[in-house]
């Protein structure tokens, strides 16, 4: 193009700065209805990551209903989720600072309902007949890793708290039928995670609120049941992967189970947090739902009698937090060219209203890299999947035959998935001349249970192989420079990053964001929810002690021969700081270039704007030193030992 400047990849000047990202964006955590009112939660980096509950009233007025310092977030399972429940203008919410449950009344007054900071609450539901709440409670009074999880009830003022269901390791999704006569919940036990095996239970509710005739109606036998929902006419629906795919099921009155719409598609997503909602009833006969097929999401209405799907016309390609108040539907949507935003519309997709966007920024489409979904060969003659973002900046062209560096991004979980939605953090790289590939390695969700189970016993192998093969596939295709490959990830993605750098000679640099390096330490020090996660990923401990040793990057630093940068929150309870510090010290002793950036006051994932900025710019600066390009921006240097 005329007027383009010639500059090396990585040296391009971009309008998408780290300041823009942290100052101009928020995260949209979820939305719901209370009658005609619409509610949603905003996570604001500019307020140290504070989660704020917002409301748009029926008259259109928008207001913040949880003022500072309240932070609408909970610690149950450490990942939290569903920190509030709303009923006829009464808002009950968990506050992150003290773990207490609060109530906000229609007149705006806010009062504490509980007083014990060792008891965490989430995923509440209102009893439609008895003016009480039932919530998941995680009691840390005696222990963190052995915290007791139960379902508890309490009056609307917090009084008369008592356990109603107990005895298993975990509970989720307490749900009353609309007539208040039946109650359903999910439960599971170690060593299962909720995407491995759960059970769905139902009980009859007596006049005094007690539960009778408790019975398991679905799940068990290595099937994952998620998201139970009662229809307006008091019939129980849920999502099960018994067929290999998470499909919507119905519990018939005779106890039989019917698949509403059998498809090789995922109508659910992994329960890392509470409150995930992938479908909702519009009326007794119709469901609004999202499903994933071949790595892409769709929005559709589903007739419960016919089992027929009708796609909803929308430009969005990603959907979550699906809700309905009977007249309208609401969800968080996004696409490769649109930021996540909250949408309210008619069930057929007409009369669309965008309540809130995660960014009010004006970025020209000329700087936005539109991704390509790729499928590539991997070990064992199998196929894996990824999302590739080539460099894009209308102002620059690279010299000669130069090919761009590639940043391989590994998502966390590892039972999660990358989605093709507009993310300025990704565009930060591509607009500077760095290609990015988000790898949905074997173990990722969205491709059926069989694909998800590829990681069983093979964590540190399948994810490492698939990530490397994605990079090599793009290099062989001619899209990127094979000699300038880097890999980065957070949490479980940080582990895959470190394992890839140790066990593969593919990359020339890496960045671990709060990643695991010593698996035995993690087993002994992590929180309850994930304390037996490794049983499925690696094997039971200590029986599989050798596997833990042989998959731990810290034990094989002699095989590491490239620079690494580490970013770590000092308050991280999921991956404690010593996981990074053990690895950093080993690399320092070996004489390899290594950088360590620690953040006080941050937990698992960075929420403060200054730390998000520092980690993004710091990683880019690190690669500039390793790959030898000069950033166009004036970036605060990172201390790199042995450089």
- Residue 2's pLDDT is 58
**Statement to judge: residues 414 and 457 lie in one domain:** yes
If one counts the domains in the chain, the total is: 2
**Statement to judge: residues 386 and 432 lie in one domain:** yes
Q: Which helix (H) or strand (E) holds 112?
A: strand 110-112
Final residue of a structural domain among 317, 342, 360: 360
**Statement to judge: residues 388 and 474 lie in one domain:** yes
Whole-Å CA distances, 14 to 235, 391, 407: 54, 11, 17
Rounded Cα gap, residues 503 and 93, in angstroms: 45
Is 259 inside a domain boundary? no
Residue carrying the six token digits 């008259």: 59
- Residue 25's pLDDT is 83
**Statement to judge: residues 334 and 384 lie in one domain:** no
**Statement to judge: residues 344 and 387 lie in one domain:** no
Pair 371, 399: CB distance under 8 Å: no
Is 205 inside a domain boundary? no
**Statement to judge: residues 515 and 422 lie in one domain:** yes
Q: What angle do CA 227, 233, 238 make, to 5 degrees?
A: 15
Is 32 inside a domain boundary? no
**Statement to judge: residues 519 and 538 lie in one domain:** yes
pLDDT tens-place string over residues 553-608? 989 988 988 999 999 999 988 788 988 998 899 899 989 999 999 999 999 888 88
- Residue 173's pLDDT is 98
**Statement to judge: residues 605 and 619 lie in one domain:** yes
The CATH number that applies at residue 425 is: 3.40.50.1820
Which of 141, 203, 142 minimizes the C-alpha distance to 171?
Answer: 203
Is 161 inside a domain boundary? no
The end-to-end CA distance of the chain, in Å, is 38
- Residue 378's pLDDT is 98
Is 103 inside a domain boundary? no
Range of the domain at 303: 277-360
Final residue of a structural domain among 301, 327, 360: 360
pLDDT lower than 70: segments of the chain: 1-2
**Statement to judge: residues 343 and 420 lie in one domain:** no
Is 30 inside a domain boundary? no
Which of 254, 350, 264 minimizes the C-alpha distance to 301?
Answer: 350
Is 194 inside a domain boundary? no
Coil, helix or strand at residue 398 = coil
State the number of CA atoms in the 13 A half-sphere of 135 facing the CB.
32
**Statement to judge: residues 588 and 486 lie in one domain:** yes
**Statement to judge: residues 342 and 417 lie in one domain:** no
- Residue 46's pLDDT is 84
**Statement to judge: residues 397 and 457 lie in one domain:** yes
pLDDT tens-place string over residues 461-490? 999 999 999 999 999 999 999 999 999 999
Is 31 inside a domain boundary? no
């Amino acid at each position: 193009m005329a007027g383009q400047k010639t500059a090396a990849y990585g040296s391009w000047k971009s309008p998408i700065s780290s300041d823009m990202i942290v100052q101009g964006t928020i995260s949209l955590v979820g939305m719901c209805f209370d009658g005609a009112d619409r509610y949603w939660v905003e996570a604001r980096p500019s307020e140290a990551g504070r989660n704020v509950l917002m409301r748009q009233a029926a008259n259109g007025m928008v207001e913040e209903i949880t003022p500072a310092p309240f932070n609408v977030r909970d610690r149950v399972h450490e990942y939290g989720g569903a920190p509030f429940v709303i009923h006829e203008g009464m808002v009950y919410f968990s506050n992150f600072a003290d773990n207490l449950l609060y109530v906000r009344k229609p007149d705006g007054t806010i009062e504490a309902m509980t007083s014990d900071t060792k008891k965490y609450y989430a995923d509440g539901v209102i009893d439609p007949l008895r003016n009480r709440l039932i919530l998941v409670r995680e009691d840390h009074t005696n222990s963190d890793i052995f915290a007791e999880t139960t379902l508890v009830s309490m009056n609307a003022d917090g009084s008369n708290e008592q356990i109603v269901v107990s005895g298993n390791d975990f509970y989720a999704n307490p749900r009353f039928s609309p007539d208040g006569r039946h109650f359903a919940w999910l439960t599971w036990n170690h060593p299962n995670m909720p995407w491995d095996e759960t059970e769905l239970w139902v009980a009859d509710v007596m006049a005094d609120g007690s539960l009778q005739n408790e019975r398991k109606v679905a799940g068990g036998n290595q099937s994952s049941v998620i998201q139970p929902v009662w229809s307006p006419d008091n019939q129980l629906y849920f999502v099960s992967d018994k067929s290999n795919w998470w499909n919507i099921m119905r519990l018939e009155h005779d106890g039989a189970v019917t698949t509403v719409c059998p498809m090789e598609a995922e109508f659910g997503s992994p329960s890392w947090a509470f409150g995930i909602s992938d479908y909702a009833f519009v009326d007794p006969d119709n469901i609004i739902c999202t499903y994933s097929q071949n790595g892409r999401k769709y929005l559709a209405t589903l007739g419960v009698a016919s089992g027929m799907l009708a796609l909803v016309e929308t430009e969005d390609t990603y959907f979550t937090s699906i809700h309905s108040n009977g007249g309208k539907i609401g969800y968080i949507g996004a696409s490769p060219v649109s930021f996540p935003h909250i949408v309210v519309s008619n069930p057929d997709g007409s009369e669309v209203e965008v309540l809130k966007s995660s960014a009010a920024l004006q970025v020209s489409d000329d700087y936005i890299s539109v991704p390509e979904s790729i499928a590539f060969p991997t070990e064992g003659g199998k196929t894996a999947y990824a999302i590739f973002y080539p460099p894009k900046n209308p102002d620059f062209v690279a010299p000669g035959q130069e090919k761009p560096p590639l940043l391989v991004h590994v998502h966390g979980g590892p039972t999660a998935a990358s989605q093709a939605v507009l993310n300025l953090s990704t565009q930060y790289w591509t607009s500077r001349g760095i290609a990015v590939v988000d790898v949905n390695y074997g173990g990722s969700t969205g491709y059926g249970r069989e694909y998800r189970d590829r990681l069983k016993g093979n964590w540190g192998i399948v994810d490492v192989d698939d990530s490397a093969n994605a990079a090599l596939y793009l290099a062989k295709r001619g899209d990127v420079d094979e000699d300038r490959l880097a890999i980065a990830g957070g949490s479980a993605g940080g582990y895959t990053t470190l394992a890839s750098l140790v066990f593969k000679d593919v990359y020339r640099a890496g960045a671990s964001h709060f990643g695991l390096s010593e698996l035995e330490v993690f087993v002994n020090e992590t929180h309850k929810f994930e304390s037996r996660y490794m049983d499925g990923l690696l094997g039971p401990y200590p029986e599989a002690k050798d596997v833990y040793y042989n998959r731990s990057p810290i034990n094989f630093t002699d095989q590491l021969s490239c620079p690494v940068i580490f970013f770590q929150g000092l308050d991280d309870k999921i991956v404690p700081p010593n996981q990074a510090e053990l690895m950093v010290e080993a690399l320092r002793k070996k004489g390899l270039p290594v950088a360590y950036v620690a953040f006080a006051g941050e937990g698992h994932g960075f929420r403060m704007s200054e730390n998000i900025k520092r980690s993004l710019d710091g990683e880019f600066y690190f690669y500039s030193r390793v790959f030898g390009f000069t950033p166009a921006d004036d970036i605060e240097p990172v201390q790199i030992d042995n450089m």
